[in-house]
Amino acid sequence: MLNLSKDRETAVRDANEFVVELRSVSKHYGESIAVANVSLGARRGELLCLLGPSGCGKTTTLRMVAGFVEPTSGTVSINDIDMTRQPPYRRDTGMVFQSYALFPHMTVAENVAFGLENLKWARAEREERVKEMLRLVELPHLAERLPGQLSGGQQQRIALARALAMRPSVLLLDEPFSNLDAQLRVRMREELREVIRGVDVTTLFVTHDQEEALTMSDRIVVMNAGRIEQVGTPGEIYEAPSTSFVAKFIGWCSLLDGIVDADGTFRSSGGLCLKGNWSPGPGTAVIRPEQIRLFSHGAKGVAQNARVLQSHYYGGATRLLLDVNGEQLTMQDRFPFGRHPKVGDVLNITICIDDMRMISAAPS
Amino acid sequence: MVLLLIGCLVVPLLGLLRSSFLPGSHLLEGSGFTLDQYVRFFSDSYYTSVLVETFIDGFIVSLICLVIGFPTGYSLARLPPSARRWRTLIVIMPLTLSLVVVVFGWLIILGRNGFVNSLLVTLGIIPSPRIFLFTRPAVMIVLVQQFLPFMILSVMSVITQIDPVLEQAAANLRANRFTTFRRIIIPLAVPGILVGFNLVFVLSISAFITPRLIGGNRVVMLGSLIYERIMSELNWPSGAAMAFVLFVSGLAFTAALNAMAGSRIITGRGRYAL
Amino acid sequence: MRSDLIDNAMAVSGACIRCLVYTILALPAVLVIVSSFTSGETMNFPPAGFSLRWYQKVWENDLFMSALWTSTYVAVLVALVALVIGFASAFAINRFSFPGKAFLQGLAFSPLIVPAVVLGIGLLQLFAGLGLTRTIYPLLLGHLVLAIPYVMRTILASLALQQRVLEEAAMNLRATPLQVIRRITLPLILPGLLSAAIFAFVTSFGNVTVSAFLTYGGKVTLPVQIFAYVDTSYDPLVAAVSSIMILVTLSVILTIERLIGAERLA
């Protein structure tokens, strides 16, 4: 995946391996801009996730790939063929809708066969394929049921079977887990990933749930306000966020604004000082809760005093809001039973700066 | 559809408007352009009194429909679907049933040897049958029954859009049922009430089957006058003029109600703002 | 205490009013049916004895029987035509935005604000001018105008209820727009279409206020025939004819109720 405006060379070199590619795509609704100049591509067999808060344009982007929304400008191509002005039914995509959109008046088997009929498959092949797909999602016994008689998880699997039956070049998933309860969601996530890996289909996947994105994707496109904030593997997105929006949206963190001195030391505007080796200039330090630890002898780093402002017990861990030299930081750790810090306690902590991310302020 | 509605709705209305300006008193034999028909209508005290009485009747019918239709529509909206089923059927039945059949039913009820008379005589309330037909109240009762469903359904549809939680909140804030009704439900139901009132009024003032069959020659309303003029006397220009007076008064009433709904005085929001 | 009194008073008066309303609404139809089984010669209440003789008389009465067929014939035609016109217009209004859409929508519901008498006279004069009074067209077109608003409302409501995402899913599964309409849209709104057609049928079948002005080649519809008959005489024959009409209407609205639920009849 690439941001073409930044990295043209790579874009040209890799263009051929993209199954889906969007070039400078924008969508305006009157005055409001849903998607602004988005360029991205999904490589063959890759699971690419569009992640962002609601209203960030990720669903609009997905619908432009499926052909339900026509871009105001830019092009959408699938398998290197320009599809921008093609109607949805001429595009080689299979979509799983947020509400699944199973046809209530057709049986499960009829739903799965619907796309194959439109592709003019012969009856025998059709029936064979439907059986195969139902086996794939492990629901062959439900073939003659109506969608209304299925549970949410079953409906989702049928919707997946229906979309994959046509062997589309691209599988599109629009918030596929949002209608499921929390436990089922985790299970279906694993199942779905398994199935998609098994059939090796290029997948575009929209979600607002960072955990879903981190566990399922090969690469993540973080979107905000119609624009792409960052593209990268889950590790890159989490460990090396390139903007403070990404840092805050993915996982829990404290952001400190400040300046890096000529000797590489970061001084926050609140007065906290961290010795490091960053390049000089204004910047924002991203401090993850797990980077703050209780100080013990022999540990690297400098001990600091921290006053506990808030304490939240989560069972497996306790999350503390600390006052460190006038800056508020969040830490998360597991404390021995009976030794949980209370509000007002003063702890001796150390901030692990080794893998700490410093976002340089854009020169403006 | 556009062609159909223009050809069979707009064109006939325009044709009617044209013939109301024709002179003469038989079919469409006259020619030229005159206001004679309208002048004659408004200068004859018989016609103007029919017009006024028709409006008064229509208003009273609408008012009665509102008073008895509101509680019914309200309860219908708040009932569980299973209990709502047969009640809704009873409300809809008179709407779909042919008007003449309903009116004929009322002849059986109100007739000299009819249901009410035999009930009252059997119970010993009156010694001998009385005449209920051919009176203004009889006509109005029948009109109320015919058009009540419109009011009930209008009220019902607006009440279903009011969240019952609002009433619970009012009760929680120590409002009794009457206060809740007056301060919460009625203000929010104003749009539905106006729609129902409008429908019933316009339908009542243009009724002609009911006044003719229930009221006979004694109770004349504008609608029956027009029917008589056109079908019996074949005086088309005069009938057309009357029909237009009727049409325009209906439109004027609708416009007046809409203006009221638009003004902030009687809407829920208006109350709050005042 | 005072609040309790008020609450109780409201509950009691509300119950009384509802009781009265349902009685008044149902009474005429019930009494018509009861009276139609009389064995007597006149319309006295309570009816004298029980017999089906008046139904037999209706069967033998050419005037009423031919009016019944005329009514049925016209109503079926109206239902079919109204359905086609109504679906096409409602689909266009629901799915597309085009110049004049608001006008089309307003026009579709405009027959509701024109009093039936006015519409009836207007049509009579128009068709008299065209020399078509002896054909079926005046009745047919007049009833169509009356039925259109109801048909449009029913179809628009079922189109609005139907989920657009199902059509998108079908398109994603390579169905062309025509296939989408045939295999997804139409089957899903079928109950709505049927009830729209039935609405059009009852509207036409029961109408008297417009039909009274539009006879068809000397033939009249059943309600108009009843109107003319009751205008001059009053006997159990009409009770029997009316009972037939009640039966037809009742079975029709029960069918719609089955199709789309009583809620949405309104």
State if pTM tops 0.80.
Answer: no
Residue B260 pLDDT: 78
Domain ranges of chain A: 8-246, 256-360
Question: A with B: 3 or more CB pairs under 8 Å?
Answer: no
Nearest to C125 among B8, B9, B12 (CB): B12
Assess contact for C158 and C193: CB atoms under 8 A: yes
Q: How many CB atoms lie within 10 A of CB A80?
A: 11
Closest CA to A16 of A41, A48, A50, A37: A41
CB B200 within 8 A of CB B3: no
Inter-residue contact C144 to C82 (CB < 8 Å): yes
C-alpha distance from C185 to closest chain A C-alpha (Å) = 10
Give CATH superfamily name and number for B31-273: MetI-like (1.10.3720.10)
Rounded Cα distance, B10 and A63, in Å: 44
Cis peptide, bond prior to residue C46, ω within 30 of zero: yes
Please report which confidence band the pLDDT of residue A78 belongs to, taking 50, 70 and 90 as the band edges. Answer: very high
N-to-C CA span, chain A = 27
pLDDT tens by residue, A227-262: 999 999 999 998 888 888 998 888 888 888 888 888
Mean pLDDT of all residues in B148-177: 83
CB distance C139 to C153 below 8 Å: no
Domain ranges of chain B: 31-273
A115 touches chain C (CB under 8 A): yes
C163 to chain A: which residues are within 8 Å by CB? 99, 101
Full set of structural domains in chain C with CATH? 54-265 (1.10.3720.10)
Could you tell me which residues are beta bridge partners of residue A311? A320
Testing the interface with B: which of C33, C38, C41, C45 to mutate, by most B Cβ within 10 A? C45
The confidence score (pLDDT) of residue B262 equals 66
What is the Cα–Cα distance from A280 to C201, expressed in whole angstroms?
A: 83
CB distance B221 to B211 below 8 Å: yes
**Which of the residue ranges A35-49, A163-177, C84-98 would you say has the lowest mean pLDDT?**
C84-98
Angstroms from C97 CA to nearest CA on chain B: 16
**Nearest residue to C236 (alpha-carbon basis) of C55, C17, C26:** C55
- Structure token pair of residue C90: 């409602």
Domain A8-246 annotated CATH 3.10.20.30: no
Give me the count of residues in chain A. 364
Contact criterion met (CB below 8 Å) for A171 and A20: no
CB atoms inside a 10 Å sphere around CB B154: 27
Q: Which residues from chain B sit within 8 angstroms of residue C35, using beta carbons? A: 108
Provide the Cα torsion C210, C211, C214, C220; round to 10°. -170
| 3-state DSSP assignment of residue A281 | strand
Residue A48 has pLDDT above 90, yes or no: yes
Task: Evaluate if residue C153 carries a pLDDT over 50.
Answer: yes
Which class for A247: exposed (0-12), middle (13-18), buried (19 or more C-beta within 10 A)?
Answer: buried
Q: What angle do CA A202, A187, A136 make, to 5 degrees?
A: 55
Are B21 and B33 in contact by the 8 Å Cβ rule? The answer is: yes
A105 contacts C179? CB cut-off 8 A = no
Shortest distance, CA C184 to any CA of chain A (angstroms): 7
Touching subunits of A (3+ CB pairs, under 8 Å) are C
pLDDT band at B272 (very low <50, low <70, confident <90, very high): very low
ipTM comes to: 0.85
Distinct helix (H) and strand (E) counts, chain A: 9, 20
Do B50 and B42 form a contact (C-beta atoms < 8 A)?
Answer: no
Which residue is associated with the tokens 């597991």? A334
A344 at C interface, C-beta within 8 A = no
| Residue C193 vs residues C85, C186, C207: alpha-carbon distances, Å | 12, 8, 21
First to last CA, chain B: 45
Q: Which residues contact C19 (CB under 8 A, 6 or more apart)?
A: none
Task: Give the one of C165, C168, C174 whose C-beta lies nearest to A118's C-beta.
Answer: C174
What is A256-360's CATH number? 2.40.50.140
